[in-house]
Amino acid sequence: MSKQTFALRGTICYSNSPTELSITENAYLVCENGLCAGVFTELPEKYAGIPCTDFGEELIIPGLTDLHLHAPQYTFRGTGMDLELLDWLNTITFPQEARYEDTDFAREAYSIFAEDMKKSPNTRACIFGTLHVPATEILMELLDKTGMKTMVGKVNMDRNGSPLLQEESAKASADATISWIEDTLTKFENVTPILTPRFTPSCSDELMKRLSEIQKKYHLPMQSHLSENFGEIAWVKELCPATHFYGEAYSQFGLFGGDCPTVMAHCVHSSDEEIALMKKQGVYIAHCPQSNTNLSSGIAPARRYLDAGLHIGLGSDIAAGSSLSILRAMADAIQVSKLYWRLADSSVRPLTLEEAFYMGTEGGGSFFGKVGSFKEGYEFDAVVLNDSTIASPLKLAPKDRLERLVYLSDDRNISAKYAAGKKIL
């Protein structure tokens, strides 16, 4: 038996389906060469004698995936929350992101970010950097050391930025992107590049065309923003008069799913046509409830996306969202879905704990392949949660314990974390 084979023992919890949890107490979760080999109430004969860490009653859940966040914005999370998207970008975000031209500042800021990411319950993430290549490479180097499996993007923006935060031309942006990809494509064990046009208002048609050629050459996935805020959507309509809906501003360049695996943040106000195209093209939706609340963007119809079978996961959207934990994002997703049901449309049932848990694990994890579950053959990403410090005189069932952790936990409740079979915390 390979020495990379081991077991964890505890209360093991994962999604059987978007609506059903599998919970097994006093069970063994076996990792074989980085992959899940199954959950067993008794260790099978063939695994006799493998190393086993006994976590007692602690909960063991799949590693969580943050499908959308901005590393350079971590410095100012929790501040400037009284603006809507476009004013927030111009007033707070762009001036702060411009600072990453300074690599000393980038290293200091990204060290704090990487350290906190490591302590979070997340094992996977799709992350925006800034438009600066050296700073983005520093971010990738620091994240690589955490052992988390991440995709990181050098941002493209050649219009509507600020004097200090905009690339000179479409060509300059594309050239910088190619040199960044060449530098980083195979450099890291745990971090890979992802194409990152900031959003349509930041990228000229010529830049999108060039990014499309780059995507075809390197077969990279892509991340961006979609239909987040009314002002933004109206602006895209003005900028792209030939398109019928926002998503077409990406799809007309082949940057919207299909052969270009794509994750789009928000989709708060997507039209029926846009939703149909996302479904057809297999576009992933990063639902970012805390961000959508903070920037008064609205409530994305997550229930509709789930029921229609679209790919949907959760994002923290740091720093429009304030909290890194995808457990917190699960609680936020449930809470905003209740407001949507009560205030906007009483025919749209709120999300359940099971559904929010699914979105935070396998829903978003599947953007990385077989990730986010303990079903056999999935990559072994696991988080061990100790809820004994959240005191209660009640004897709680495992599902209630999980729910309490979704609503009440912080990093202090994490006992251990594994990504792709390696212990990283």
Residues in 256-275 at the binding interface with Zn ion, rule: CB under 5 A = 265
**Among 134, 126, 48, which Cα is nearest to 365's?**
126
CB of 232 to Zn ion, least distance (A): 11
Question: Using CB under 5 A, which of the segments 13-21, 105-113, 316-324, 402-410 binds Zn ion?
Answer: 316-324
Distance CA 289, CA 306 (A): 15
The mark string for 352-371 relative to Zn ion (x by CB under 5 A, - otherwise) is: --------------------
CB of 422 to Zn ion, least distance (A): 29
Work out whether the CA dihedral 249, 251, 253, 257 comes out positive or negative: positive
CB of 329 to Zn ion, least distance (A): 13
CB of 228 to Zn ion, least distance (A): 8
Q: Are 253 and 212 in contact (CB under 8 A)?
A: yes
Q: Which residues pair with 23 in a beta bridge?
A: 13
Nearer to Zn ion, 318 or 359 (CB): 318
Question: Position of tokens 């067993």?
Answer: 40
| H or E element in which residue 234 lies | helix 230-239
Nearer to Zn ion, 198 or 303 (CB): 198
Nearer to Zn ion, 58 or 317 (CB): 317
Q: Are strands 52-62 and 64-70 parallel, antiparallel or unpaired?
A: unpaired
CB of 292 to Zn ion, least distance (A): 11
Question: Position of tokens 């695994």?
Answer: 47
Nearer to Zn ion, 118 or 198 (CB): 198
Nearer to Zn ion, 13 or 127 (CB): 127
Question: Using CB under 5 A, which of the segments 83-91, 163-171, 309-317, 363-371 binds Zn ion?
Answer: 309-317
CB of 70 to Zn ion, least distance (A): 6
**How many residues line the site for Zn ion (CB under 5 A)?**
2
Q: Are strands 262-266 and 284-287 parallel, antiparallel or unpaired?
A: parallel
Nearer to Zn ion, 266 or 311 (CB): 266
Question: Using CB under 5 A, which of the segments 25-33, 216-224, 317-325, 379-387 binds Zn ion?
Answer: 317-325
Nearer to Zn ion, 153 or 421 (CB): 153
Distance CA 24, CA 352 (A): 20
Distance CA 116, CA 425 (A): 12
Q: Are 246 and 274 in contact (CB under 8 A)?
A: yes
Beta-carbon contacts of residue 380 (< 8 Å; ≥ 6 apart): 31, 34, 35, 36, 418, 420, 421
CB of 68 to Zn ion, least distance (A): 6
Distance CA 389, CA 409 (A): 10
Question: Using CB under 5 A, which of the segments 7-15, 76-84, 310-318, 339-347 binds Zn ion?
Answer: 310-318
Contact residues: Zn ion, CB under 5 A:
265, 317
